[in-house]
Amino acid sequence: MMAKVIGLSTMSDTVAPMLSVFPSRALVDENFKVVVENLPPGSPVTLHSLHQCEDKHYWEAYGHYISNHRGTVSVTDDLSFGGTYTGKEAMGLLWSMRPVPGSREGLRLRKRNVCSPLLVNISVYRGHVVEGFREQAPLASSLTERWYMAPGGPCFYLQVHYLKNYFLVFFSFCPFPGLLDVWGGGGGLVEYRSALLGSHGYASLALEYFAPGELKSSDLEFNYFETAFNIVKDHPQVMPDKVGIFGLSLGASLTLLLAAESSIIKVSDILFVLCVCAIKIGPLTHIGLFYKPTLKSFFLVISFKVGRINCPVMVVNSHDDQNMATVESSEDMAQMMRAAGNLHLLTRLYYPDAGHLIEPPYTPHFRATKFVKDTKEKVILLWGGQTKPHSDAQEDSWKKILAFLEQNL
């Protein structure tokens, strides 16, 4: 599908500028092409994107272009000379998004309702504009839809005893490989990565597990994750010998703990994909309160057992992670696996100048955001990373993660 919108006839007396986006409806990890036609040759224009999130905050990105001798601008093929991104950046109108001037500090863009799309309005303006976009009339505009869950895919919630989660499947006569999707220390139910994984053919369960005071004992905590894993494995639309765990931040640590400690999960039958390796935590005690900045105590728990892992592992590391010592952690993990003779199972990806929050591609970069500590105190937490290299890392790592899943699941 391609959207074409005729703009105001302000730059030409005969033909109005035309902006097209193809495809205008796509998954969030798919590229699009933005083209403006019918401009006077050599005209300075600004391409601008605007999104209002579910919290009613506005996010924007923009690039400055000059039309070619045919009166055309292609965001994919042409250079941006300024704005929130520069150079030849096909998806710069998405990954360089930031809160509009005057917004609250520490915002983070996250999709809650994955059954509806992210709506992004893309417009072209006369001249090289840097502010006040909503106070000006664009030459042309087009509304695009960016989906985490492919349109038409069913989703439903499960309530299993004390286990609350979100489970995404697609109608098919064939079973799917399964994934348990475990997020980090921010807590809550985070669904959008599972929805996107589901759109790529995986039955993915997004697990809500972190809420202060919700779980009371370490035995219950461990059973919680084993129960979630078994829900995926035992589902009739899941291949029971093709189930993996996808962990980010604290979730990455939990995947290692499950591999090292669980008597229910057979590590030879599962796959671990760790977006950020080995958060600084201690032994699991009270799940709502175990955010402990003690890297060494965590490794004392698992160091002698990492060698037991007998399945493919991918670790994604960011060198500018200001939240955790992820690079050092993965180096320790590699040494342990080398000593156990299973280093060949470990794949490590390194990204200079990327920060802690490696998300699906074209997600805006957040160097620091608001975070609620286990004491209920609200702080600004530094994640790290520089916008362009971080965005490149998200795009590259996602392609390699999908290829890794395809190969192993």
Q: What is residue 328's predicted lDDT score, i.e. its pLDDT? A: 83
Cis preceding linkage at 240, omega within 30: no
Q: What is residue 14's predicted lDDT score, i.e. its pLDDT? A: 67
Name the active-site residue from 48, 356, 365, 390: 356
Q: What is residue 102's predicted lDDT score, i.e. its pLDDT? A: 94
* Residue 341 tokens, joined: 């003779």
Name the active-site residue from 24, 67, 249, 391: 249
Q: What is residue 398's predicted lDDT score, i.e. its pLDDT? A: 96
Q: Is 249 an active-site residue? A: yes
| Residues of the chain falling short of pLDDT 50 | 3-12, 157-162, 171, 212-220, 268, 276-303
* Residue 167 tokens, joined: 């489970």
Indicate the residue type of 182. V
- In a 10 Å sphere around its CB, with 0-12 CB exposed, 13-18 middle and 19+ buried, how is residue 355 labelled? buried
Q: Which bin fits 377, alpha (ψ -120 to 50), beta or left (φ > 0)?
A: beta
| 324 and 291 Cβ atoms separated by less than 8 Å | no
Q: What is residue 351's predicted lDDT score, i.e. its pLDDT? A: 94
Q: What is residue 271's predicted lDDT score, i.e. its pLDDT? A: 62
Q: What is residue 204's predicted lDDT score, i.e. its pLDDT? A: 87
Q: What is residue 33's predicted lDDT score, i.e. its pLDDT? A: 98
Looking up tokens 């670790």 gives: 315
| 397 and 357 Cβ atoms separated by less than 8 Å | no
Name the β-bridge partners of 244.
179, 271
Q: What is residue 343's predicted lDDT score, i.e. its pLDDT? A: 93
Distance CA 231, CA 228 (A): 5
Distance CA 187, CA 374 (A): 10
Q: Is 77 an active-site residue? A: no
Distance CA 255, CA 113 (A): 26
Name the active-site residue from 29, 320, 321, 332: 321
**What is the SS3 string spanning the chain?**
CCEEEECCCCCCCCCCCEEEEECCEEECCCCCEEEEECCCCCCEEEEEEEEECCCCCEEEEEEEEECCCCCCEECCCCCECCECCCECCCCHHHHCCEECCCCCCCCCCCCCCCCCCEEEEEEEEECCCCCCHHHCCCCEEEEEEEECCCCCCCEEEEEECCEEEEEECCCCCCCEEEEEEECCCCCCCCCHHHHHHHHCCCEEEEECCCCCCCCCCHHHHHHHHHHHHHHHHHCCCEEEEEEEEEECCHHHHHHHHHHHHCCCCCHHHEEEEECCCCCCCCCCCCHHHCCCCCHHHHHHHHCCCHHHCCCCEEEEEECCECCCCHHHHHHHHHHHHHHHCCHHHEEEEEECCCCCCCCCCCCCCCCEEEEECCCCCEEEEECECCHHHHHHHHHHHHHHHHHHHHHHC
Q: Is 103 an active-site residue? A: no
| 192 and 114 Cβ atoms separated by less than 8 Å | yes
